[in-house]
Structure 1
């Protein structure tokens, strides 16, 4: 699963390369099996997208390794029913989870990050890279996706106060486990074993240089995945992973390694944000007014909690910021979708009327 798909075979049977892997090893389970009948399984066998490349997707199935043309609605981790004659027409199965963000820039598009991930390890270092606001953002993204978030703190061997970083990370959410470890030692396999069971798919997300590829190497028991040292000046790493790719590792789990994300804008993530800030959401139910803005209104339970020291004002500010960002981006995306639908309607209407004007 780690081979460069540029040299991979095409999408037809006679081009496919048989490899020793089962659907269960690739993460197949009852959720996906319920979406397919026996005849479909034979005519269009299930395959999983294991690598995303600009030129297309590498997919694997039982006895199948093939190439599917690029599609905006497909991402790494997706399950497809492979159409051997027209790979681009392969049907995408419903996802158990979907990680997505607003694409960087002004394009107002949604970028799919990965699908069908069971657990997301949100990786950060015990150094200048550590940032509570960024952790809350990643956790909200993961909750919204339907996957389970786990915060992983690396470079504990270099930190003078690793316990302080752990305590701060635990303040993100009571529902999120926090694991501190040295990614280069034997710790990762033991510390993350609870989530890395056979057939389970896990992903490492975080900034560049925090140890995502090193953790993947540790689980895989190999140094095949390139890693680079952190720049001493600012504790930031260089980009090492250049594409999103799944790896099968000893023990039976599937690991997704991703490039570091410089920008993570949330969109359509209101429920994920609410999950991260459950403490604030609970307080809002005690406000006197239903439409309370939690600012200067009388009888505001949120502001009362801040005044009494039960709620950190900085955490409240971060909640507001994420809510405002999500609302703005969601509105922008909805406007874009409306324009796309309207344009599509015009095109379809013009296509229908074209023969009449001849």
Structure 2
């Protein structure tokens, strides 16, 4: 979804598919040996998360790794702010993932609130929405389009998770000339070929690891481990360290042991 065709003006027949500017993909949930294409030719990625029990920093980190790997600007969009008394706490948790991360908190049903997202949806711009089921992607699309043509469903009360509303990738044309690419909810996102994205999202660990005494430090019990020292001093956190190691192990064990720069 997202490929552009060159069409003959006279016959209106497709001539060829244009080269892709970028491509989002993940490991197939059913078979990790295969890859699943998600979206192509995206200018901005709206990473949609809701201000409730389903909010997950670890999941946001995965989406950010994907965005950085592809080279697309990410914007974290926090929805359902009307259902919490502390929306600023969710926003602060998202901003803490990486410096300069753009985070927008909106009420997806309020056109005035959603209007702050319009700057990314102008003429010639393609915006993809990624997030788990029930976070309000379809509601956002409806509000940005000024329509309620896309079905929405209530979340499950027990854990604030949702059912799939969008079951296939869909593109929606906006009045201002932009395109919205809506995707089915993804609770599982196994990354594929994302070493560079991991390094960007976890650059604090990458830079600290370059100060370890040994270039192949496993950040366990080795003497002179700068990463462990930083965790002990409170500069880095154990939770974030564990998430870094997990993502790096999924992608490539070599990412865990970056070489020192000379």
Q: TM-score, normalised by structure 1?
A: 0.67
Structure 1's consecutive aligned runs of 4 or more residues displaced over 4 angstroms after TM superposition are: 82-87
Structure with greater Cα Rg: 1
CA drift at 1:324: 0.4
Aligned partner of 2:211 in structure 1 is 286
Q: Residue 101 in 1 paired to residue 26 in 2?
A: yes
- TM-superposition CA deviations, 1:98-118 (whole Å, max 9, x none): 110001123511111000001
Aligned partner of 1:198 in structure 2 is 123
Check whether the contact 2:118–2:144 (CA below 8 A) recurs between aligned residues: no
Q: Distance in 1 between matches of 2:208 and 2:104?
A: 29
- TM-superposition CA deviations, 1:140-196 (whole Å, max 9, x none): 111112211111111111012211111111111114211111111124542212312
Name whichever of 123-132 and 224-233 sits farther off: 224-233
CA drift at 1:86: 9.5
Aligned partner of 1:26 in structure 2 is none
Aligned residues: 251
Check whether the contact 2:115–2:144 (CA below 8 A) recurs between aligned residues: no
Q: TM-score, normalised by structure 2?
A: 0.90
Return 5+ residue gaps in structure 2 as ranges: 254-262
- TM-superposition CA deviations, 1:219-273 (whole Å, max 9, x none): 1000011111112222112111111111111222110111101311011101011
- TM-superposition CA deviations, 1:57-101 (whole Å, max 9, x none): xxxxxxxxxxxxxxxxxxx101234598997xx643322221100
Q: Distance in 2 between matches of 1:280 and 1:306?
A: 10
Of 213, 216, 226, the residue aligned with 2:141 is 216
Return 5+ residue gaps in structure 1 as ranges: 1-75, 329-358
After superposition, the CA RMSD in angstroms is 1.9
Q: Distance in 2 between matches of 1:189 and 1:108?
A: 39
Of 243, 247, 250, the residue aligned with 1:322 is 247
Of 228, 233, 249, the residue aligned with 2:158 is 233
Aligned partner of 2:58 in structure 1 is 133
Q: Residue 110 in 1 paired to residue 23 in 2?
A: no
Aligned partner of 2:4 in structure 1 is 79
Q: Relative contact order (C-alpha < 8 Å, sep 6+): which is higher?
A: 2
